[in-house]
């Protein structure tokens, strides 16, 4: 719980800083000579799937609000020097550690890919600072696998379930540009998806000591640190 509260406080501070410290976008007289800039981001961090929503497990087990998994992301955006809006694509991957419960264990992960729309603020807090707000709607692929160990049976049963659906994301990022091409990036993202039919049609459900979920309301806030590369088209 303490870790969850600290994460929420950090997200709030980052949002407040980016909002209150944002300065006006460069005037037209200071618009650079390039026609378009492509920004490629790569980041790693952690996500907390049980802090909000229904949790990431495909079984009806207690949530652990301090659970954290490894996240990685890639993003490619294109911007015009005369506009604060850009477009592009976003990829996100969450991979959790194996969780052990009574008579079973489970490891969950998911992939998310979506087109993105982004709003940027140049000279945010610092002359070389850039703030971003990103959003998109895309495709989610969830996977869970593990072992069922019923007490009444001597044998174990391995299981795997995959399900896909529509999800959405919103994110806030801040970059500090060290030179004309490279920036350090800190980002806060949230991904939501409602997934149905997790264990539908699988015979192992009848042997499970835990009741399966019919659907998941997945919401994963995450914090990532990464690098950005700027490619200018003149």
CATH number of the domain enclosing 13: 2.40.160.20
Asked whether the CA dihedral 22, 25, 30, 36 is positive or negative, the reply is positive
DSSP 21: S
Distances (CA, A) of 164 to 22, 43, 94, 112: 38, 24, 14, 10
**CB distance 115 to 83 below 8 Å:** no
Residue 138: which domain range?
2-233
DSSP 59: B
Q: What is the b/e burial string over 41-58, where b = at least 16 CB atoms within 10 angstroms of the residue's CB?
A: bebebebbbbbbbbbbbb
**CB distance 114 to 138 below 8 Å:** yes
**CB distance 139 to 112 below 8 Å:** yes
User: What does pTM read for this prediction?
Assistant: 0.80
Instruction: Domain count for the chain, please give it.
Output: 1
| pLDDT tens track, the chain, 234 positions | 554 555 555 545 544 444 434 333 333 445 566 678 899 999 999 999 888 877 888 887 777 777 889 999 999 999 988 888 999 999 999 998 888 877 788 889 999 999 999 998 888 878 888 999 999 999 999 998 888 876 656 677 788 888 999 999 999 999 999 887 899 999 999 999 998 877 776 666 666 667 778 788 889 999 999 999 999 877
- Length of the chain as a residue count: 234
């Amino acid at each position: 719980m303490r870790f969850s509260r600290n994460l929420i406080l950090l997200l709030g501070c980052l949002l407040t800083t980016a909002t209150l410290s944002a300065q006006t976008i460069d005037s037209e007289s200071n618009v650079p000579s390039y026609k378009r800039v492509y920004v490629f981001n790569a980041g790693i961090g952690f996500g907390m799937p049980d802090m909000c929503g229904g949790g990431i497990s495909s079984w009806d087990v207690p949530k652990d609000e301090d659970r954290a998994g490894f996240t990685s992301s890639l993003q490619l955006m294109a911007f015009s020097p005369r506009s604060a809006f850009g477009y592009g694509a976003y990829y996100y991957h969450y991979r959790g550690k194996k969780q052990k419960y009574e008579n079973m264990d489970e490891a969950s992960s998911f992939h998310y890919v979506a087109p993105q729309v982004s709003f940027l603020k140049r000279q945010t807090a610092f002359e070389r600072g850039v703030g971003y707000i990103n959003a998109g709607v895309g495709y989610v692929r969830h996977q869970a696998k593990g072992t069922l160990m019923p007490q009444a049976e001597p044998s174990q049963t391995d299981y795997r379930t995959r399900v896909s659906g529509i999800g959405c994301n919103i994110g806030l990022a801040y970059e500090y540009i060290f030179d004309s091409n490279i920036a350090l990036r800190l980002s806060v993202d949230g991904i939501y998806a409602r997934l149905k039919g997790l264990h539908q049609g699988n015979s192992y459900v009848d042997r499970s000591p835990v009741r399966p979920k019919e659907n998941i309301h997945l919401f994963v806030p995450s914090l990532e640190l990464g690098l950005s590369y700027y490619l200018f088209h003149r």
